[in-house]
Chains A and B, each alone.
Chain A
Amino acid sequence: MSRALRHTGNVLLSFGLGLSLLTALAGSLSFWSSEHPDLFPAARYGMIPGVLLVALGLLVIKSSDTQLRLSAAGFAWTLLPLFLIDWLTRSYNLFQGPFIRGELILGLFAAFLILNARGWRALRIFSLCSLALLACAFLFESQGRILSSDDHPSFFYRLSLLKSQFPQIPFYYPYWNAGIDQRDFFATGSLNIFLLLWPIIRFFDLAHSYNILIAITLFCLMPVSVYTASRISGGRPTAALFSAVLAICSSLLWYRWALKYGTMGFVASASLIPLNLALLNRLIFEPQRWNSKFTFLTIASLCLMLLWGPSGLVFIPLALMAAPKIPQLFKLPHFRHVALGVLLLSLPWITIFYSVSQVGKFVSTKRPSYEMMADEKSPQYNQGKPSTSSDNKSVSPRQTLKVLRETSVSTNPLLILLLVPGLAALRRRQRGSWVATTVWLIVLGTTLSQVKPQLELDRMLVILSICSSIPVALALQRLFISSVYNRTHLFAARLPAYFALAFFLTGPFATSFLLRNRGYDTYSFRTASSEKLVQMIRDNAGDGRVVFTGFVLHDFSHGHLAPLPLLTGVPSVASSPFHDQWSYKELFPSEAFSQGVGAVEKLLDLYNSTLVVGHEERWVNFLRENKDHYALVGEALPFTVFRRKQANPSYFVQGQGQILKQNDNSIELTLSSAEAVLKFRYFPFLRSNLCNVQGVPSELGFQFIKLSACPLNETIKIESCGTWCRVLQGGS
C-alpha cells in the first residue's frame, strides 16, 4: 500500500480531532462572518463532521494496518475551516478580522515561496525581525510618554520605592493617607522585575526608563526565556526561534495583563515559567543530561519566578510526578544544590511575605476578580456593592466552557490546534509532565478560577498559551520539514504546512496591531492633563496635604493615583490610590457630605489638608458652591483643584512642634512639648528613637500617633521597626 494512503488515515483522524476541538471551542458558528446565518447553531452539531472524520480515519488506519499516530499536518488542515468560519471576526481576537484574512492570504503566498525555496534562514531572520518589530511598535506607540494604564502607575510607584528602600522592606510610608504600611511588594511580585533589571533601575531615572523596562520584559526576557526553554527541551535553534515568536504572539490576553492592567509581577514570573518547566523537567526526568551551568540558572530563575507567589501552582503536577523519585534525586549533587539554593534564597522573603502580607486572609476573603475590578463601568461600582461573583463558590460547566471559549478566541490558533501534536513531538521522558501541566493549567484556569476569583487563576490559561509555544514550535518544525522533503510531491500534502506558516508569519503583524492600540483592548499613557494636575498640586499645596474627595479609581490617565506623592512631593490622601478597594467607597463617610461644609472642613482639618481635589460632579459642585471655604485653583480634567481658604495647616492635634521632614520611610520632627498627637496613622510596628509611640483613636476611622516622654527640641524620628522585628512580632 502506498505511503500516502498509509498516512491518510492518521491525517483524517488528526483532522477530525482538530475539527472537533475547533467546533467545540467555537460554539455556534457561521460562514465567514457572524452576520451570516449559523452553519451550526451549537457546538454539538458542529462536532458531527469532526467525529465522522475521526471514525473514518480510524477505519482507514485499521484497514491499512497502520500504526495510529497523531499527524501535525492533519491538525494543521483545521486552519482552513478556521479561516472560513466567523472565528476571525469575533471580538477580542488576536487575529482581529475581518481584514486580517488579507494578511493570511499574503502569508500563504509567502509560505509557498519560502517552503519551496527551503528558506530556513529567511525564517530565522523573520523571527529576529519580529522581535524588533514588536518592541519598536510598543516604543513608537509610547512616543516618550510613560505607561499609565490601570496598575502601571502603582508598579512605577513600587519600583521607585524599592529603588530607595530595598532591602529595608516593608516600611512605613507617610506620604499616602497619613501613613501606610508599604508592604505589597511581595504580594504583587514587583521584586522580580526590580531584581532582574536592577542596573537600569539603579542608574537611570525611572520616569524615563520605565517603558524600557516593560519593553525588555516583554520582548527580551520572555522570548529569551522561551528560546532557552525550547533548546533545553530538545528543540533545534530554528524551532527555538519559532517558539520565541509564538510566545510573543501567543495571546491578546497576555498584552491585556501586561499593558492594560499593568500586572508586571505576574508578567515577569510568567515569562520565566517555561524556562523553569524545561529546567525542572530535565533535572527530574533527564538528570543524566544535566549541565552544571544550568544549576545557577535554575536557582536564579526559580527564585525570581516565585516572587510572584501563585506561579508555584503551575508546578504542582511536576511536583507530584517527582515525589516518588525524591529519594533518588537527593543523591544527585546538582539536585541538592538547586534545592538548597532555592530554599536559602526564597525562605527569608517567603517568611516575611506570609507574616506581613496576611496572605491567608486574602485567600479566604470574598473579593471579586481583578478583571471585574478593572472594568470601572461595572454596575457594581455604580451601585456601591461588591461583585456577586465572589459569592459564587460553585463550579459551573457552562461558565467553564465560556471561559475556555473566550480565551481561545484571544489565543493564537496555532497554539490551540497544534498543541496536541506538539506534545506528542516532545521527548518521551518529558511528555508526561508537559501533558499533566497542560491539563492542570486548563483546570486551574477554567474551573478553580470560579471558586477563588480573587486569585485570578484564569491567568493560568495565559501561562498555558506561552508554555504551549515550545511543543507547538516542535510540531511546526516537523511539519515544515516533512512538507519540504515530501516524496509524494503532492501539492495538497504541502497545503497544511503553508496554512501553518501563513498563520506564523501573520502573528507578529497581528500583535503589532494590538501594540499600536488599534484593537478592542487599549492601554494608556500619561496625559498632559495629569502632568498639569501634578504641577498644580506642587505649586499650591503649601505645607499641608492634598485630599481627593469621592472615590478615585482609574482617573489618573486611566490608572491609579499611586505615584502622585512621588511626582508632586506632597503628601496625599485618597480613598483608593492602589488596587485595594473592591467596591465604591468614598474617602469621607456619606453623612459628612450631607451634614454640610462644617463636617467636611472638620475632616479636612484632621487630614491637615490645604488642597482639595474633586472629580465627581456632586463634589465639584459642592466645592464650587462653598466659595467662602474653597478657592478654585484650576482644572486638570477629570480633576478640579481647590485651595482651602480657612486652612490652618498643622500636623499636630495636640502638643507643639515642627515636622522637619517626611521621608519615604520615616517622619522627622522636633517637639516643644513632652507629648504630642500627630495627624499620622499609627501602626503597632512604629518605633521612635527618643519617644514612646502609641495610638489614639481619631474621627477618621484609624488611630493617630501619640508620642510621649519625648525630649524637647531634639530631632525625633518615627519609622517602622526592622523587617525581622516585624516578622517576629507576627507581621503586625
Chain B
Amino acid sequence: MAVPVIIFVLCALLFEALLALFPTFNADNLGPGMPGLEFARAWRPLINTSSNSFLYWRPDFLHSLIATNLPWLGQNSELIVASALGTIGAALLFYIVGDPKERPLRAALQSTCAALVWTLTLRTLFGFDHVIIGCMTWLPWLVLGVVWSLRRGSLNTSSFIVILFLTWRLASSANQLAFGLAILAWVLALACCDRHLWPTANSRAGILMLISLALSLLPLAQAPYVNTQGFPVDSHLVSHDGLPAMVRALVGESPRIPFINRLWLKESLKDCSVIFFALSAIAFYLCHRRRAVSKLMWYALGLALIILFDTLPIEHVAQIAPLAALGRIIPGYFLYPCAYLGLATLPLLLLLASPQRALLSTICLGALALVPPTSGGYMQLALGKLVDLASQRALAEYSLLNASEQQTLQPVIYSPSYTILNAIGLWPAFEQDRIKHTDFMPVRAEEVSITASTTDPRYSTSAMLDRDEATRWATGRASQHGDEWIYIKFAKPIQLSALELDVAGYFTDFPRGVRLSALTPCPEANLSPEARGNVHELVHYWPWEGALEISKFGFPYFQPQHQVRIFLPKVETIECLLVEQTGFAPQHDWSVAELRLGLVQ
C-alpha cells in the first residue's frame, strides 16, 4: 500500500505544481470577510465566475494552513492544495475499489492516471473554482472512508472517528453544499460494496450514516443568507427565463428574486452535457459488452442523463426535470447550479465505475479536447475556460480602480447585483445618486423635432409628445427586426441623464434592445445610415432588461422590461439623439406612447 500512496502523492503534487505555472487559469473572486461576529467573518462573498452566480463561501482553514507554508504555489495556493488533496483521495479511492490484490503497481499507476485525468477535467472545465474545488476535495475521501469501513465487516471506534472526521472535512470545505455531497458519498460507497454490508436503521453503520448526514447539515445553519430583501418583488437581476412564475425552493433558503441566470447557464453547459452524456453512453456500452455493468455505471449514465435534462430542454421542461427538483428540496442547493456539481462528479463516477480505467482515461483526455470554451475554438485544451476571463467585465474594471474606490464599491460588486455590473459596467454603482434623483419631464413639441424609421399614417411621431398615454407612435409592422430607429433633434443642446420611452398600456411593445447614439454633425432628419455622419454610441442595452434602479440598500436592479427608462453612463450634452431598436421580436411591435427626458435634479 505504501508504494501506491507514494506514487499518488508525488504525482498529485507534481501535477498541481505544473498547473500553478499556468496563470491563465480562471479563478472566481472571493471578496473580503464580512463585518460583525467572529464566525461571520470567515464567510466571504464569492462571485463564482463559472456559474455567474453569487453566494457566501468559507475557505477551508486546513487548506489555508497548508498553503501558508507553500507560498511558491502562487496566488491560488489554497486551491492548489485542496485540489492536490482531492487528487490523492481520488487516486486512493480508485485503487481500493479496483481491488488491487493482483498487480498492485499496475493498479496504482492506473489509479494515478485516472485521478489526474479527473483533476485535469475539473481544471479544464472550471479552472480554479472555489466551489467546485471545495466540494470535490473531500468527496472521494469520504467515499473511501465509508467503503473501507464497510468492507472491514464491523464498525469499531476507529471507523466512527475516520468517517466523522472525513464528514467534518467535507462540511468544512463544501460548506452549505455538504449535505447533498454527503448523501452522494454514501450512495457511491454503498454502490461499491456488496448489499449485505449495507447499513440498516438499527445497525451501527446505519446510525453512523445518520450522524454523518446530520453533521453535514451544520454549515447550513452558519451560512449567511444572500440578502435580496431590498429588491422589490417585481424587479430582477437576470434575464427573464420565460416561466410564468418565479421558481422558489421548497426547503432551505430561496431568494426574493432570482439571481442565477438560467439561460446563460444552459447556453454555457449544453455542449458539455451532450459530450459527457455521449461519453457515459460509450462507457456504458463498453461495460455492457463485457457484461460488467455495475451499479455505479448505471448511476453515471443516470447522472449524465439528468444533467442533459437540465441543460438542453426549454426552461418549462428543465424545471420539472430531476436536477431542478433536487435543487429545490436539498437545503443549500437552490442557490448554486446543481448541474455544475453534477458535471464535476460525473467524471469521478465514470472512472470509478469503469474497470478499464486506463482506456476510459484516454477517452476522457480526448473528449476534453472537444470541450468548447465559451470563447470558441475546438480541438484545443481550453485551460479553465468555461468562462472567458475577458467576459468578467466588472472585475476587470474593478481591478483598475484605486484602493479607495474599490473600498467604496466593494459591497456593491460583491453582491447579487454583480451580474448587472458585469453586463453594463460599473458605472451604476458610481452614479447611484443620479439614478435615484433623475426627473423625467415631458417634452414640448416646439423643443424637439422627431423623425422615425417608419412613417405609418396611423402612428404619428407627434403622439410621443401629446401627453396622452392613449396615443402612441409605433412602427406598424407588429414585429421588431433590429432596424427601427427614432431620431430626436433638440432645439438647443441639453444635459441628458436618461431617456424614457413610455409604452403606457402597451406592455409588450418595449424594445428588445436599445442603443442611444449622439450624432455629429446633427442632420435635420435622419434619413439613412449614410446620412448619419459621425455616430458616437452613448449606451447600448442588449438585451433590454428593464429600467435601471437602485434599491434602498444601494444595489442596482432592473425594473420590469416594459419600464423603458434608458440611463446614460454619465450626463451628456446632447444636441441630437439617435435611438435604435436593436433586438428581435417576431410578434410584438415597438411603441412609444410618451417621450420624456431624464434630467438631473
- A residues near B (Cβ < 8 Å) are 35, 98-99, 101-103, 105-106, 109, 121-122, 124-125, 133, 137, 509-510, 512-513, 516, 518
Contact = CB atoms under 8 A, between A and B. Distances in A.
Contact of B201 (A101, A121, A518): A121
Interface SS of B by simple majority = loop
Contact of A109 (B248, B254, B322, B329): B322
Given A103-B329, A106-B325, A121 B200 contact: yes
Contacts of A106: 322, 325-326, 329
Interface of B: 200-201, 244-245, 247-251, 254, 316, 319-322, 324-326, 328-329
Given A98-B244, A121-B201, A105 B254 contact: no
A539 B115 CA distance: 68
Contacts of B320: 98-99, 101-102, 105
A105 B325 contact: yes
Contacts of A102: 319-322, 324-325, 328
A99 B244 CA distance: 11
B250 A509 contact: yes
A102 B328 CA distance: 9
A516 B251 CA distance: 8
Contacts, number: 58
A99 B319 contact: yes
B328 A133 contact: no
A512 B328 CA distance: 11
Contact of B251 (A105, A125, A509): A509
5 contacts: A102-B328, A105-B320, A106-B325, A137-B251, A516-B250
Contacts of A133: 251
A101 B251 CA distance: 16
Contacts of B254: 516, 518
Contacts of A513: 248, 250
Contacts of A101: 320
Given A102-B320, A125-B201, 7 more contacts: A35-B244, A102-B319, A105-B320, A105-B322, A106-B329, A512-B250, A518-B250
A140 B245 CA distance: 24
Contacts of B321: 102, 105
A122 B190 CA distance: 15
Contacts of B248: 513, 516, 518
Contacts of B322: 102, 105-106, 109
A35 B322 CA distance: 24
Contacts of B325: 99, 102-103, 105-106
Contacts of A122: 201
Contacts of A99: 247, 319-320, 324-325, 328
A181 B324 CA distance: 56
Contact of B250 (A98, A103, A124): A103
Interchain residue pairs A-B with the least CB separation, the first 5: A102-B325, A102-B320, A518-B248, A509-B250, A513-B250
B321 to A, nearest CB: 6
A253 B320 CA distance: 26
Q: Which of A102, A103, A125, A137 has the most CB of B within 10 A?
A: A102
Nearest to A89: B244
A121 B319 CA distance: 31
Nearest to B200: A121
A509 B201 CA distance: 22
A513 B246 CA distance: 13
| Residue of B247, B251, B319, B328 contacting most chain A CB atoms (<10 Å) | B251
A505 to B, nearest CB: 10
A125 B213 CA distance: 13
Nearest to B251: A512
Nearest to B246: A518
Interface centre among A122, A510, A516 (most CB of B within 10 A): A516
A577 B16 CA distance: 69
A157 B249 CA distance: 34
A98 B200 CA distance: 36
A376 to B, nearest CB: 20
A510 B319 CA distance: 16
A324 to B, nearest CB: 48
Given A98-B244, A99-B324, A137-B251, A509 B319 contact: no
Contacts of B244: 35, 98
Contacts of A512: 250-251
